[in-house]
Every structure is written in structure tokens, then in C-alpha cells.
Structure 1
Amino acid sequence: MRLVLAHQNPIRRAKLSARFERVDRLDLLAVACNLTELYTAVEHLVPDVVLLSREMASAPEFEVMRALFSALHVACILLEGDNDVRPVSPLTDGLPSLNEAADAEELVVGVRAAASRPLPRFGREGTVRLPVTEATMPAEPRSRTPTFRDGAIVLIGASTGGVDALLTVLGQFPVSCPPTFVVQHTGGRFVSSLISLLDRSVAAKVTAATDGEEARIGHIYLAPGDQAHLALSQKGKLITALDPGAHYSGHRPSVDVLFRSAVPRGRRVAAALLTGMGRDGAVGLKALSAAGAETIVQDEATSVVYGMPRVAWEMGAARQKLPIDRIGPALLAACAVTTSRVGH
């Protein structure tokens, strides 16, 4: 059984590493001291099981890690010490745990049990979607390729639980999708990892937005970190802007900033606010709706945290409330030449 170990405590990490190396039936491939090292190890080595401390798994950035595990079919076990604090986090729901003091036989049994069952998905009724690869991606017949209106764009905002939600929504987009702009509340250090994960999992090209770039069809642009807001030019060519302004709605980048920047484009916009804590994006979504945009929120049943979508829905900002697997088609339908809408 191929393993990768991750622990933030150097003494405990060294002890665990020594113990795992002494167990003949377990092959320890790599040891990581933080989530960045862990992401690199998992992406390149693709172990059967990852064992990491519960504390590391409780960090917001772990959401990207968990999505990577799911995409690569890697099992995950949380390591716990007898005196560890066990923080409550939706990021660790459903994951098996193992005491760090377990003997060799308990380690083997625990690892094999974790490897034998799939990683639990986020949400309560989330749709499982396998990553898109060149081998698994179906051909896009010309007769079925949707025709999108000139100037149509898609905006998406998300927070807690958003990585898995984005994989579902963007995984339904064709190679020639409208220019799409995404703000996902993720730790700044992990944005490049998120972009890499999305790009390998969906048909369109996923990239970090740059200041002054003209947006293109078939491209999905993410805010590149936590040092600037992602916004759009308000008239003329569709140009991305990175605004290093203060936090807005408690965040940088802020969904509200992105949404409000697109208000002048009105009916050419289709926007969705996905799972997340707080209220970022609700006011901007309402402004877009008033300008004639198609506005959608994720429903409670498939949200990991029904915060941002709830606030937007209760203030009348959204025209539709849909489960996560219907949001992608609804956004595309809103951008298509036809006037039909998905979800009504």
C-alpha cells in the first residue's frame, strides 16, 4: 500500500515516518510538512492513501486537497493524538481517523479499510463528476456545439465547498464556452494549485486572470490570489482588471466586486453564487439581476454551507435556485442564442 504522510509538527512527523517505514506492508513514498508540499507529492506520486493531521485538514486550503484526492481516487486518513483538539470543520466530514499511537497491525488495517472505500463527497446531494481527460472527454459534435450570443459572459462566486461545486459546474462547459470569470475564496498560496486542478479536470482552458488581458472564448479566468480583486472593464472590449483595493464584503478577492463590475453589461451576463459562508456576492448578484442578467444560486440541499446563496435568495437577487448539477446547463442556456432557459 503506497502512502504519503503529512504533519505540521516536526517531532511527531519524524516519529510517524519512522514507524511507517518499519511496517513491511506499507510503502511510505513521501513526507510533507505543509499542504503545499502535500499537494505536490500527491499530484506527482498518486499514492493509494494519504495520512495527515486533523489540524492540517482543518485549514481552508484543504478543500483544494480534498478535491485533488477525489479526482485521483486517493484515500485519506486523519491522524489524531490523544490530547489533540478536534476542530469541527465541513472539510473533514466523513473522513476516517486513526490514532497516532496505533500499533503496526492497526495501522495496516486502518490504511486498507480507507483504501477500500471511495472518498466521501462534499455536500448532501452533490453530483459525482469524474475529471475530464483527453481519454475520457467525449468529442464535441459540431451539430451539438451550442452557439453563444456575442458578448455573453459567465460569472461565478463561491466559498466553502466551492472547489467541488466548481468541478461540477465547469465540468459541464464545452471547450468553446463563453468567457467565464470565477472568484473562489481560497488561501492565496493555493490558487495556482486550484487552477491546475480545474484545468486538468474540465474541457475549457482554466487560467489565472492578468491585469489588462482581453478575455477569450473557451477560457475560464480565476482571481490569481488574495492581493487584488478581479473585475471587468465596464464598456468596450472585455478586459480583466486586478484591483489591489481594500477588502470588500470581508474578502479580497470579493465576489461582490466582480459582480458589480459587470453590471453595465446587463443582459449579456449569466451569474451564479455557489455554496459558501457569509454574504459576499449577494449584493452584487442583486445589482446584476436588476440590470437584466440571468442570476442563479445553489440550493440548500447541495450546498456545503448555505450562507451566500441563502442571503442572495432571501433578498430577491436570484431568478433561479438550482441543485449544483443543473447550474452549469442553466448558465450555458442563458448565454445561448436561443431564448430558452434551463431550470424553470
Structure 2
Amino acid sequence: MMTVKVLIVDDSATMRSLIAATLRQDPEIEVLGFANDPLEAREAIKRLNPDVITLDVEMPRMNGLEFLEKIMRLRPTPVVMVSTLTQAGAETTLAALELGAVDCVGKPSGGATAAEAFADLAQKVKMAARSNVRPFAGPAKPHDGHADYKAAAECILAIGSSTGGVEALMTILSAFPKNCPPTVITQHMPAAFTKSFAARLDRVCDAHVEEATDGARLAPGRIYLAPGGEHHLEVASKTAPICRLRQGDTVNGHRPSVDVLFESVAALGRPSVGVILTGMGRDGAKGLLAMRQKGARTLGQDEASCVVYGMPKAAFEIGAVETQTSLPRMAAAMLNLCAATEPQRSV
């Protein structure tokens, strides 16, 4: 049994105690020590060599994002952000995930207890210890995309992602052209973050990205991100596909669920491409298989470029993935498959 050694960085003594108490309940986790700010943390990292760092997003004496970027450039270490679920907190946490933080956990708020807020903290810390952390390569920026891409208006592109998905989606969508295929995305993310994340994606993508709303029509150049929290995102209507937000229980522990999105696309019987990216667990594997069985083309992110090779691995093992592709090649692979889909297909 591997013991995961953790350094807790937070300027609140109360929060440090709550995080430590939560993590110490798991026998596979050892809390090595604490730091009140990034300067203390820098010395503690050198001295203790932790497997994982939990990091507050607002830190005194040094900007938290500046500190995280230094970690990821100079000494890449798995980091789990512990954030307030506010608009400002969401923006900062998303920026941290772009820099290479593995995951985020919300601090107790709105009457929630620490036990409720940190229910999956230990699991995320242990997963972070097994993640593939790479040096920060710089922020995603819009670029020329694929000028020779010919829009396939009938082809729907469906993407599912989880842990590591912020960085992956920023990389992929920054390469999309203005006339990209109608695209729907389910990314496992707290409800407070998805609207801000859609806005961040929109800034690096030539196409238009927004949080999905019920009834929004799929069209070339439109990309819809599932809102977190209360609904699953589905695609409905064979003649003029639209986004449908449906209330329901969690699926595979998630709402929105990648399986729900993929299965809805499979049910349409339209030309489609399904893509499963980095993430923990199995959500999306069965749905991607359903898409492939209905004639869709399917891609999975390869192990070497995944932060967590969980969801793509599960999909590959059951035969849902037609081709595994590295993250740098993923945008071109998606667009090429969409452009190659037949105008009509009998299922």
C-alpha cells in the first residue's frame, strides 16, 4: 500500500486543520506538514519532498498562480487546488488548472460542513499522486487552426473529459477553426466553474463557445459546454439537433455524465465523432461504445499525454476507442474524422 505524502498550503489555520483532519482519516495518506504562504511552501517542498500539494488559491506574500507556475516550471508536482466557490475563486482555480494543477476542491460554503465539502478530497489527492504531471508549456493561445477544414454540417462532435480536461480542452479548442463542427462537451466540473470555463475557452477559440442552454441549436461554429451541477447534457432531435438539459440522478457518480451525452448522440443515428479525453474513472466508456456500434468514429487520448489515463483506458479496453491519439494531434484528428463523415448513414 503506497502512502501519499501531502503538504498543505493555506493561510488559514482553521482551514489547514480541517484539510489535515480530513486527509488523516485515510490510512493511505500522510500529512507531512503545513505552510502559511508560498514562501514557506517553497522551503517546505525542498525539505519534505511531498508527493502532492494542496494549495489555496489566494495566498499572501506571493500570488498563488505565480507560485503554482513556478512549481510546474521548475519542479512539477501534483497540486490539488482548494478553492472558494465564488466567481473570483472559479476564475483563479481555472487559471490554476490551465497551469497544470491536477484538480480542485471547493471550501465549505453555503452551510456545507467540512465533511461534505471535502468528501472526495482524499480520493482526489490519491489520484493526483498517480497523475502524469508535466512541466508547464505556456498558456493556450488562438492560432490559425486548420484552414483547409471543410465544415461537415451534419456531423456532430461529442467530447467527454474529467481530470486534466481543462488543459486538454484549452489545447484542442485553441486549434479549432471558426467553422468547426457542431460540438458538445461534458467536462466534470463544479457548477460554479462551467460558465467561467466556457468564457475562457471562447477567448482562445475562433469558434463560439458557451455554456449549454436547453434548446440551443447545434450548428457549425458553435461549441456547447455542459453546465455543472443539476442537469445532464443531451442532444435531441434528428432533423435539427438541439441541446437538451435533463434533470436526473448522477450517472457513474457524475452529473453531468459523459455516458449520458454520448448515449444521446448514439440514439440520433446521425454522422458523429466521439472523443474521450483524460479523466479518472469509467464515465463515457459505455456511451462511446454505443456511438461506435451505431457507426460513429471514435478517438481516445493516449496514455502518454493524459494527466489521468482512466476514462480513455476504460473505453479502449471495451473496444469503444477506434484510435488512440496524443493531445497535440487530437484537434487535427477530430476535424479530419468529422470532415470525412458521410452526409447520410443508415443505422
TM over 0.5: yes
1:57 pairs with 64, 81, 86, which one? 81
Q: Deviations over 1:150-177 (max 9, x none)?
A: 3111100011111111112222211110
Q: Contact (CA 8 Å) 1:127, 1:324: kept in 2 or not?
A: no
Q: Contact (CA 8 Å) 1:57, 1:92: kept in 2 or not?
A: no
User: Are positions 1:251 and 2:260 aligned together?
Assistant: no
Question: What pairs up with 1:169-208 in 2 under 5 angstroms?
Answer: 169-208=172-211
Query: Which residue is equivalent to 1:100?
Result: none
1:68 pairs with 92, 95, 98, which one? 95
Structure 1 SS opposite 2:303: coil
**Offset, 1:67:** 5.5
Larger radius of gyration: 1
Q: Which consecutive residues of structure 2, in runs of 5 or more, have no partner in the other structure?
A: 1-8, 17-34, 41-54, 70-77, 102-120, 343-347
Which has the larger displacement, 123-132 or 54-63? 54-63
Structure 2 SS opposite 1:156: strand
Q: Contact (CA 8 Å) 1:209, 1:240: kept in 2 or not?
A: yes
Query: Which residue is equivalent to 1:279?
Result: 282
Label 1:127 to 1:323 Cα distance change in 2 as closer, same or farther (>3 A).
Answer: farther
Q: Contact (CA 8 Å) 1:126, 1:325: kept in 2 or not?
A: no
Q: Contact (CA 8 Å) 1:60, 1:187: kept in 2 or not?
A: no
Query: Which residue is equivalent to 1:239?
Result: 242
In the aligned structure 2, how far is the partner of 1:48 from the partner of 1:276? 26
User: Are positions 1:322 and 2:325 aligned together?
Assistant: yes
Label 1:248 to 1:272 Cα distance change in 2 as closer, same or farther (>3 A).
Answer: same
In the aligned structure 2, how far is the partner of 1:337 from the partner of 1:50? 41
In the aligned structure 2, how far is the partner of 1:307 from the partner of 1:90? 10
Task: Indicate the percent of aligned positions where both proteins have the same amino acid.
Answer: 35
Q: How many residues align?
A: 270
**Offset, 1:132:** 2.3
Label 1:72 to 1:277 Cα distance change in 2 as closer, same or farther (>3 A).
Answer: closer
Structure 2 SS opposite 1:155: strand
In the aligned structure 2, how far is the partner of 1:8 from the partner of 1:245? 37
In the aligned structure 2, how far is the partner of 1:124 from the partner of 1:200? 25
Query: Which residue is equivalent to 1:131?
Result: 140
Segments of 4+ in structure 1 off by > 3 A? 5-12, 45-51, 58-67, 69-74, 85-93, 122-130, 264-267
- Report the AA paired with residue 132 of structure 1: K
Please, what TM-score do these two structures have when normalized by structure 1? 0.65
**Offset, 1:9:** 4.6
1:224 pairs with 210, 222, 227, which one? 227
Please, what TM-score do these two structures have when normalized by structure 2? 0.65
**Offset, 1:284:** 0.4
Q: Deviations over 1:205-263 (max 9, x none)?
A: 11010001112221210111210000011411111100011111221100011001011
Query: Which residue is equivalent to 1:214?
Result: 217
**Offset, 1:130:** 3.7
Q: Deviations over 1:305-335 (max 9, x none)?
A: 1111111111111111111122211110111
In the aligned structure 2, how far is the partner of 1:55 from the partner of 1:336? 38
In the aligned structure 1, how far is the partner of 2:164 from the partner of 2:99? 18
In the aligned structure 1, how far is the partner of 2:282 from the partner of 2:184? 19
Q: Which consecutive residues of structure 1, in runs of 5 or more, have no partner in the other structure?
A: 21-32, 75-84, 94-121, 340-344
In the aligned structure 1, how far is the partner of 2:246 from the partner of 2:270? 24
In the aligned structure 1, how far is the partner of 2:94 from the partner of 2:209? 16
1:292 pairs with 285, 295, 299, which one? 295
Label 1:291 to 1:338 Cα distance change in 2 as closer, same or farther (>3 A).
Answer: closer
**Offset, 1:304:** 1.4
Q: Deviations over 1:82-104 (max 9, x none)?
A: xxx998456589xxxxxxxxxxx
In the aligned structure 2, how far is the partner of 1:60 from the partner of 1:279? 28
RMSD of aligned residue pairs (Cα, Å): 4.2
